[in-house]
Chain A
């Protein structure tokens, strides 16, 4: 940090390697949202960068970075509490169980969920990861691409292929039609 504060731009890589993984773990744990953790990690590093000129030589970097991260987390959680994230999805529209589902419905959906889990587990890891991020966690293709370190097109292809492989597992009729 001392070198980076003195103007050595190349020292950023070392600073990032020393701080980012720990901060990311902290943010993921506190937010339970990998995508938001990624955004806040960028904000923490940006704030460190903006304040580097006032860095006191020899002072500890980690407590400082953690304090910035903790402050951002608190603000983020407060903001989310004030403005709950409005879901534009209707759970019933996607076929999940609702509050007034009958026991038969619940049994049916839990069977489908189990079949889906098993089918996802059989997918190649690269396809399973893309499917998980986009369809299960609800990330956009761009966000998933960033997380996986691939292009948006590649992410789209992976999700499409994963869906193609999962469809027969969920629809027995389709399985029969498949040669």
Chain B
């Protein structure tokens, strides 16, 4: 089986019509996008009033931030880390990230808040829609920006990488929202702090299939 001789010239012509940025430019773009993701999340959080300490003691808040922060870091690394391989991250790693991180966040919220029972008191007037909205708002640009840093890199698992990234961004935004919101009753937590995981994972899967996947646009 021999290659058609005209193929190389034809391919070179096709590549010329569809230029792609070389590594130094992609690296600069990725740096800029990552910085803008962090800046947008933090600035928006501060714009919304920042942390609401209220009656919550400082060690409690530090624990809230530490728990969510660890989960956010683990999820982000699991979604984006490639090591020295150009292949997609293992499917199991992505699925575990997308499922275990929200479960761990829910468990952490309930367990840690159990140390301060006043935060678990039912709050009928606060179903959690504000927390839901704020989390989605904080996570939206970072999710798109980080997906853009991985543009057209996933061979077969674009949607899964996107979903894991969505969960990672939900955890990152969730860390800030947990500083902002003093309520932790299970019903409020489910709507305001866990539903964003589901929605952002779904949004991430769509973005991943369109941006991160090699077959995407």
- List the interface of chain A (C-beta within 8 A of B): 5-7, 12-13, 16, 20-21, 24-25, 28, 34, 38, 41-42, 45-47, 49-61, 63-64, 67-68, 71, 75, 146-149
Checking B7, B153, B214 against A42 with a beta-carbon cut-off of 8 angstroms, the contacting residue is B7
- State whether A25 touches B1 (Cβ < 8 A): yes
Rounded to whole angstroms, the CA-CA distance of A12 and B8 in the bound complex is 10
- CB-CB < 8 A to A59: which residues of B? 84-86
Q: Contacts A16-B8, A56-B86 given; indicate if A50 touches B1 (C-beta within 8 A).
A: no
Proximity bits, B183-199, A CB within 8 Å = 1, else 0: 00000000000000000
* In the bound complex, CA of A75 to CA of B156 (Å): 10
Q: Does B11 contact A (CB under 8 A)?
A: yes
Contact B152 A47 (CB under 8 A): yes
Interface residues on B, range: 35 or more
Interface residue B4 (Cβ < 8 Å from any Cβ of A) = yes
CB-defined contacts of A13 to chain B, threshold 8 Å: 8
Given A16-B11, A146-B4, A146-B6, also A51-B156 (CB < 8 A): no
Contacting residues, chain B, for A12 (C-beta < 8 A): 12, 15
Separation of A146 and B199 alpha carbons in the complex (Å): 49
Q: Return the contact of A7 from the options B3, B15, B23, B152 (Cβ within 8 A).
A: B23
A103 vs B29: C-alpha distance when bound (angstroms) = 71
Report if B47 contacts A (CB, 8 A): no
Write the nearest CB–CB distance from B34 to chain A, whole angstroms: 14
Q: Which of B82, B87, B88, B214 contacts A50 (CB 8 A)?
A: B214
With A5-B23, A6-B22, A24-B1 given, is the CB distance from A54 to B6 under 8 Å? no
Q: Would you give the shortest CB distance from B213 to chain A, in whole angstroms?
A: 10
Contacts A54-B152, A58-B84 aside, 17 further interface pairs with beta carbons under 8 A come to A6-B24, A7-B25, A20-B7, A25-B1, A42-B10, A42-B14, A46-B18, A50-B152, A52-B22, A53-B25, A54-B26, A56-B82, A59-B86, A67-B88, A148-B4, A149-B5, A149-B6
CB-contact partner of B87 in A6, A49, A63, A75, under 8 A: A63
